[in-house]
Chains A and B, each alone.
Chain A
Amino acid sequence: MPSAVELSGLTKRYGEIVAVDHISFEVKEGEIFGFLGPNGAGKTTTISMLTGLVTPTEGTAKIFGHDIRKEAKEAKRCVGIVWEESNVYPELSALENLNFAGEIYHVVKRQREAKALELLEKFGLSERKDGKVGGFSKGMKRRIAISMALINSPRLLFLDEPTAGLDVQSNIVIREAVKEENRKGTTVFLTTHNIEEANQMCHRIAIINHGKIIAIDRPENLRRTIKSAQSVQVSFEEDAETGEAELGKIPSVRRVIKEGHRFRLFTEDPPAALEGIWDYARSHGIRILEINTLGPTLEDVFINLTGTAQAGAGGRS
């Protein structure tokens, strides 16, 4: 599969500070690629270099084979960008915002006008097309920003925290629209703090920390890399007097944490831990109400690799 994005030794230094340190990877055409990392890890600097906002200090990056420095216009031509902030013009109407985006991306008038109406319809904003964007809600502004990014039917869509701080309905609309664009063939480069969002949407994920890529793989492969984050979650009948210390004595259990009325027992050997829990329950005459084995979540992988706790939940397997 050809590369949509290809980075080779891409580096950005600000004086003595190395914000991005010789990163190399590729994003294949047609995939949704997640780019995760803690604050200050180098995500925004990387996207800023790829989109032409910041000049790299070293290394190269190509978008569909076009060098971002030597063939900047060609590289930018087939790209759409959604920034973390909805950078729409509040004084212009929804339609005027889309038309302006089309004009600076050289979309011919007839095509631009038809596409603008199509996008407003798709994002549920047709009835507000002539309304000034300044009066729109945050979710509506974000939908306008995404529509502006799609006006030139880009082959590659950069999304920087597309759903941050939005209501559930806007989140769903935006995620579905991105997936639909991807199904039509658009490559998506997604930066997000929402690990569950990345887990659900991305074909592959790269994790950046201190300016270096520390992991890059499919979400399920990343989860497999940390056996120690496997666990068994158990809840006992209400009047059972059980504590973390006692459960921690079960062979193969490495650590126990209490989550509400449940206990989570971390282990590298879940079957052995399960047996140990059953033995413990029988010997103490306690009834088990619920028991589940949990695989490592992407959040566990992230914390394990970056040492940073993130908001945004993990999944169960």
Chain B
Amino acid sequence: MAQCTRKSALLEELEAAWAIAKKDIKIYYLKAPTLMFAILFPFAMFFAFAVGREMPVATLVPGLVSITVFFSASSIGPSALPLERRIKAYDRLVCAPISPYTVMVGKVLSGAIFGLVIGSIILAACLPVFGLQIISLPGLLLGLILASFCFSMLGIMLAMFPRENPGDVMLLLNFIRLPLIFISGIFIKIEMLPYWGQVASAFSPLTYANDLMRLALEGASAFDPLLSAALLISFSAAFLYIGRRIDLKFRE
């Protein structure tokens, strides 16, 4: 009969979040939409806009790593959630005795780990090829980890719209992602942007992720790294909150 054996509530939620993340890792990492939007897309963007321009390698590599993390971490949620809605597997998560935030955190974890792994592979490959060194390890860790979580949360927030086709959410996500890469100092330095562009860049989490990457690989940053870290955490919290509000809105 009923199992009411209780662990601590927090431990239960953490275990459930990890179970959701593990399941997503097994299922969605090698799906075609994930691979296309998470890996091919940032490379295509990078080669289209960066290669052939008179930019130093040390400036290009942080940008490549940033947009790879940006695209890969934010792609898992929009690939996974609509597919789970289509087969009603998402209902199973909503009806389970876990917090709605736990479901979101589980989903965020799988996206963040994906972004972290793909970003690290790209970085590890670029370092010897371009003869670069890691100048600030704390900057690199902060940048990779916080950016992965923040961008994954952005994807989950948009995936909270109750769509059953991954393409619908990806379309919405790209509507946000594509403009952000042009105003966040990836291909054009922020100080070279027009005034409105510089103002807009302050509202892009990619600006702060890229700045931390620049600190890690160039040793220079436009913002205080602690401010960048705090802002990435704030963006993540805001995306989590808005995502939950979207979910609630469509459950009314």
B56 within 8 A of A: no
A residues less than 8 Å from B27 (CB atoms):
89, 91-92
Bound Cα distance A100, B97 (Å) = 13
B4, B26, B93: the one contacting A92 at CB < 8 Å is: B26
Question: Looking at the complex, which of B14-22, B38-46, B68-76, B194-202 is the stretch in contact with chain A?
Answer: B14-22
Dominant secondary structure of chain A at its interface with chain B: loop
A220 to B: closest C-beta gap in Å: 29
Total number of A residues with any Cβ neighbor in B under 8 Å: 39
A residues less than 8 Å from B19 (CB atoms):
100, 103-104
Contact across chains for B92 and A101 when beta carbons are under 8 A apart: yes
B residues less than 8 Å from A139 (CB atoms):
none
A residues less than 8 Å from B58 (CB atoms):
none
Q: Which residue of B lies closest to A56 (CB)?
A: B252
Can you list, as one digit per residue, whether each of B73-109 has a CB less than 8 Å from chain A (1) or not (0)? 0000000000000011101111111110000000000
Contact across chains for B16 and A106 when beta carbons are under 8 A apart: yes
Knowing A76-B95, A104-B16, A106-B15, the reply to whether A87 touches B2 (Cβ < 8 A) is: no
B2, B5, B99: the one contacting A108 at CB < 8 Å is: B5
Contact across chains for A85 and B97 when beta carbons are under 8 A apart: no
B1, B23, B97, B248: the one contacting A89 at CB < 8 Å is: B23
B residues less than 8 Å from A72 (CB atoms):
97
Bound Cα distance A159, B45 (Å) = 49
Bound Cα distance A289, B45 (Å) = 84
B168 within 8 A of A: no
Q: Which residue of B lies closest to A108 (CB)?
A: B5
B251 within 8 A of A: yes
Bound Cα distance A97, B94 (Å) = 16
Q: Which residue of B lies closest to A103 (CB)?
A: B19
A3 to B: closest C-beta gap in Å: 15
Knowing A87-B87, A92-B23, the reply to whether A103 touches B16 (Cβ < 8 A) is: yes
Contact across chains for B97 and A91 when beta carbons are under 8 A apart: no
Knowing A104-B93, A106-B7, A155-B2, the reply to whether A87 touches B23 (Cβ < 8 A) is: no
A residues less than 8 Å from B99 (CB atoms):
73
Knowing A106-B12, A111-B3, the reply to whether A85 touches B95 (Cβ < 8 A) is: no
Knowing A83-B91, A104-B20, the reply to whether A55 touches B252 (Cβ < 8 A) is: yes
A185 within 8 A of B: yes
Contact across chains for A153 and B251 when beta carbons are under 8 A apart: no
Bound Cα distance A110, B78 (Å) = 34
Bound Cα distance A271, B87 (Å) = 54
A53, A107, A111: the one contacting B95 at CB < 8 Å is: A53
Residue of A85, A148, A184 ringed by the most chain B CB atoms within 10 A: A85
In chain A between 77 and 126, which residues have their CB closer than 8 angstroms to a CB of chain B?
Answer: 77-79, 81, 83, 85, 87-92, 96, 100-101, 103-108, 111
Bound Cα distance A88, B84 (Å) = 10
B residues less than 8 Å from A51 (CB atoms):
95
Bound Cα distance A55, B1 (Å) = 28
Chain B interface residue bracket vs A:
20 to 34
B residues less than 8 Å from A77 (CB atoms):
2, 4, 97
Knowing A92-B27, A100-B23, A104-B16, the reply to whether A52 touches B98 (Cβ < 8 A) is: no
Contact across chains for A76 and B96 when beta carbons are under 8 A apart: yes
A154 within 8 A of B: yes
Can you list, as one digit per residue, whether each of B114-140 has a CB less than 8 Å from chain A (1) or not (0)? 000000000000000000000000000
Q: Which residue of B lies closest to A158 (CB)?
A: B95
Bound Cα distance A271, B93 (Å) = 57
Contact across chains for A91 and B26 when beta carbons are under 8 A apart: yes
Contact across chains for B94 and A87 when beta carbons are under 8 A apart: no
B2, B7, B23, B94: the one contacting A153 at CB < 8 Å is: B2
B residues less than 8 Å from A186 (CB atoms):
1
Contact across chains for B88 and A85 when beta carbons are under 8 A apart: yes
A54 within 8 A of B: yes
B75 to A: closest C-beta gap in Å: 17
Bound Cα distance A104, B93 (Å) = 8
B238 to A: closest C-beta gap in Å: 23
A53, A73, A91: the one contacting B94 at CB < 8 Å is: A53
Contact across chains for A53 and B251 when beta carbons are under 8 A apart: yes
Can you list, as one digit per residue, whether each of B234-252 has a CB less than 8 Å from chain A (1) or not (0)? 0000000000000010011
Bound Cα distance A228, B7 (Å) = 58
Contact across chains for B89 and A89 when beta carbons are under 8 A apart: yes
Bound Cα distance A49, B252 (Å) = 10
B residues less than 8 Å from A90 (CB atoms):
87
Contact across chains for A103 and B15 when beta carbons are under 8 A apart: yes
Contact across chains for B95 and A73 when beta carbons are under 8 A apart: no
Q: Which residue of A lies closest to B11 (CB)?
A: A106
Contact across chains for A105 and B23 when beta carbons are under 8 A apart: no
Contact across chains for A87 and B15 when beta carbons are under 8 A apart: no
A residues less than 8 Å from B91 (CB atoms):
53, 83, 87
A residues less than 8 Å from B16 (CB atoms):
103-104, 106
Cβ contacts A to B, 12 pairs, < 8 Å: A52-B94, A53-B94, A55-B251, A76-B96, A76-B97, A77-B97, A88-B89, A89-B89, A90-B87, A103-B15, A103-B19, A104-B93
Besides A53-B251, A83-B91, A104-B20, 9 more A-B contacts (Cβ < 8 Å) are A73-B97, A89-B87, A89-B89, A92-B27, A96-B26, A104-B92, A106-B3, A153-B2, A184-B1
